Amino acid sequence: MTHKLHISTEHLLSLLKQMLRIRRFEEKCAELYSLQKIRGFLHLYVGEEAVAVGAMSALKPEDFIVSTYREHGHALARGLAMGAIMAEMYGKSNGCSRGRGGSMHLFDAKSNFYGGNAIVGGGLPLAVGLAMAIKKRGVDKAVAVCFFGEGAVAEGAFHESLNLAALWKLPVLFMCENNRYAMGTALSLSESEPDIASKASSYAIDSCQVDGMNVVDVEAAVAAALETVRVQGKPYLLECLTYRFKGHSMFDSELYREKDEVKKWQEDGPIQRLSGWLRDNQLLTDNQLAMMEYEIKSEIQQAIKFAEQGEWEATTDLYRDVYTPEALP
């Protein structure tokens, strides 16, 4: 699959800033978690930024998105306000899910961002349902995009979802973020066939692999996949080969991989790749990079302020969206 993009320097700098924005946000979330400002589970997206940024750059506003519990990067790249995301992480009522979702359940209907899912593979059938709604409602050329990790491929929901999407010719783009370890087991130890993209052929679905550490390659691959889905009106699977620099969650001791392996991947990460290429081609200066970092730091500070000034949900509202008004006491 090939798809040529005409990319300007301005666009490349925008991609870099978006990846930096996700990276710095996640680093700050780890710090706030240690300070117990953020509670519960926290799954960081550090290292995988090229997938979210490349994918969201190719999507249209009318496209529907279903994510995973590692969805902060997706939400930021989709355009959700950082303050609303941070407030949700805090569990405050001014969060994007009114404080009820937390880290794993970000949601924003205006952005067609249908949130993360704490269940491995849980988003796959939801995306198929959204695609069915798109088809039945006749939403012209819209696509349901489903992000999931390679660990979800071991779930029955993966196979059932691909099968139904193919049978019913639904406009779904299945986006596998293959970070190689799922929760903590190497893919080669859990799958007899570690090539995720090849599994799509069992359901007569076209597929492709892409270097998930190269944001430009991801954007091009997603643009081509979306064009195929929009024109043909049938599903497609794109496997993004990526790597998470942090543990599965903040509770992960990472005993399943060597530190030297992580260091090697970090040295060739998505931000390093793009910034290095831009520098080598005299398209990025120290002042430009410093300005990006300053603007991102300021935005994060404002997001934290927004979250800390937010209110906890009133106990009188705890029934809201749980029972219909007629059922309330």
pLDDT in tens, 141-197: 899 999 999 999 999 999 999 999 999 999 999 999 999 999 999 999 999 999 999
CA 235 vs CA 131, 140, 169: distances in Å: 9, 15, 7
Residues with Cβ within 8 Å of 27's Cβ and at least 6 positions away in sequence, in order, are 46
Q: Give the pLDDT confidence of 59-112 residue by residue, as tens digits.
A: 999 999 999 999 999 999 999 999 999 999 999 999 999 999 999 999 999 999
9-327, what's its fold? Rossmann fold (3.40.50)
pLDDT at residue 36, as a whole number:
96
Average pLDDT rounded to a whole number, residues 237-245 = 98
Axis crossing angle, helix 9-34 with helix 270-280, rounded to the nearest 10: 140
Side chain identity, residue 52: A
Instruction: Tell me the one-letter amino acid at 171.
Output: P
Q: Where are the domains of the chain?
A: 9-327
